[in-house]
Amino acid sequence: MYKVSKFGGSSLSSVQEWKKVKAIVEADDDRHIIVVSAIGKALPTDNKVTDLLYLVYQHHKYHVAYDSLFREVKEKYLSIKRELGLNVDIESDFDEIQERLENDRISEEELVSRGEYFSARLMADYLGFDFVDSKELINFDYNGQVVEEETLDCIERAVSVHDYMVVPGFYGSYPNYKICLFSRGGSDVTGAYLAKGAKADLYENFTDVSGFYMADPRIILHPRHISQISYDELRELSYMGAGVLHEETILPLIDEDIPILVLNTNHPEEEGTWVKKEVTSRQHLITGISGKKGFLALTFLKKRSVSKLSIILQVLNLFNAYHLQVEHIPTSIDTFSIVVEKNAMEEKYYDLIADLKRIPGILAITEDEDLAMIAIVGGNMVHHAGASGEILSVFGRHKVNVKLIDQGLEEYQMLIGVSNADFEKSIHALYDRFAHEKLAPTAS
Ligand code: ASP
């Protein structure tokens, strides 16, 4: 058995956590590749190293003193080094980084990546594993997309040389060898590429919870635990806000069908959640419920005589030109809506609206900026006629106005748009209705 095991920032947030990581790794010889994040929060009031490094860069850029922030980062790593009695020389790396920052010779991406780099240097020393820099393994193109074939080749070569290694998550390199970052939380994705490149049997993802729960524990107290979930279900839940794994984690793993097991560093004996291509025994109609507030819908009324397709294409081209991710496009005969995350729109809003109004054939644009989206996900829905009706009736019974409905033909998820104020109430109502309903087991 060959395992890749990734430990998130909270699993590295104190010296006790580092000891737990070592005990977990040493308990199983199959754990060949260890991927680490930057040091995270031990307490809710703590600062994550990655956030601090972004701040250091911005302070320096705007000529504001950054020394205390830099010192805070440095001290986090040096105290781990001291308390674990490690020897690896990270002090000179810190000096070099500071010197390059002073002389504007380090990019923001490189500076921010140093959190993962220092975690990996120390962890390699602590475990007695080889340190292998992800700069040598994960190859990006100039658009920040992973060049998969090259990346897998590099990983394969590293695996043939290093039996046991520690690799920093979250970054790789552009073709010019400068550092490129994944999006936030991207160490999960690094681990997934390593699992694929190493042809691993299992990708373990250690975090501070025992896997996935049917709903957000910040909204539902002690929600039902999910023991198995399919790649597709997970991707929907993660995309709509279930924060345990980065939504792109599964992409490298789908073809090879490498399972992910999400486990808790503080309770490695607990069950965790298996993420697989096929889930064989789903007991519930609904696997999970997630969602996010803060969406905005622009609704376009077009002239009857103008082709809907041509107008939608022009509108989408503009969204693309403004680098705005379109979430949903519900349509009717003469109207269609575009749903986007409000935050992403902020600075671009007025320019975009002005450009949209210039498209010939659009009669009016109205907007609804009070939209929360809820994803109800369940691979069993496709086997049960009436599932959508059941879901919608929950909203009706609780007098929640449904603004938008979106269900794909695969039928493993339904998206419902409601007012932000109805968000928590809807999650509670859905959870109460579906959490404990059991179905006769069906294969997916
Ligand atoms: N440290 C990075 C972040 O906070 C990446 C990661 O932890 O996965 O986003």
CB atoms within 10 A of CB 364: 10
329: CA distance to ligand 1 center in Å?
31
Q: How much is the average pLDDT of 152-158?
A: 98
What is the pLDDT at residue 295?
96
- Per residue in 407-429, pLDDT (tens digit) is 877 778 899 999 999 999 999 99
Rounded distance between C-alpha atoms, residue 50 and residue 169, angstroms: 12
- Per residue in 336-360, pLDDT (tens digit) is 999 999 999 888 999 999 999 999 9
Q: How much is the average pLDDT of 282-311?
A: 91
Residues of the chain with pLDDT > 70: what percent? 99
252: CA distance to ligand 1 center in Å?
18
- Best substitution site from 110, 180, 184 to test ligand 1's pocket, by max atoms within 8 Å of Cβ? 184
- Best substitution site from 187, 238, 246, 265 to test ligand 1's pocket, by max atoms within 8 Å of Cβ? 187
- Per residue in 225-280, pLDDT (tens digit) is 999 999 989 888 887 777 789 989 999 999 999 999 999 999 999 999 999 998 87
Write down the mean pLDDT value for the chain.
Answer: 94
Which H or E element spans position 32? strand 31-36
353: CA distance to ligand 1 center in Å?
34
C-alpha gyration radius of the chain: 24
Atom of ligand 1 nearest to the CA of 116: 1
Q: Where are the domains of the chain?
A: 3-276, 288-434
255-259 contact pairs (CB < 8 A, 24+) = 256/196, 256/199, 258/195, 258/196, 258/200, 258/201, 258/202, 258/203, 259/202, 259/203
E-state strands within 137-254:
165-168, 171-173, 179-181, 202-207, 212-213, 225-226, 228-230
266: CA distance to ligand 1 center in Å?
19
In the structure, what pLDDT confidence band is assigned to residue 444 with cuts at 50, 70 and 90?
Answer: very low
Q: Which fold has domain 3-276?
A: Carbamate kinase (3.40.1160)
Q: Which residues line ligand 1 (CB under 6 A)?
A: 9, 37-38, 48, 50, 115, 169-170, 184-187
8-state DSSP, 407: E
Tokens of 196: 């694929």
Q: How much is the average pLDDT of 143-158?
A: 97
E-state strands within 76-198:
130-131, 165-168, 171-173, 179-181
- Best substitution site from 116, 206, 247 to test ligand 1's pocket, by max atoms within 8 Å of Cβ? 116
Kindly indicate whether the domain formed by 288-434 is annotated with CATH number 3.30.2130.10: yes
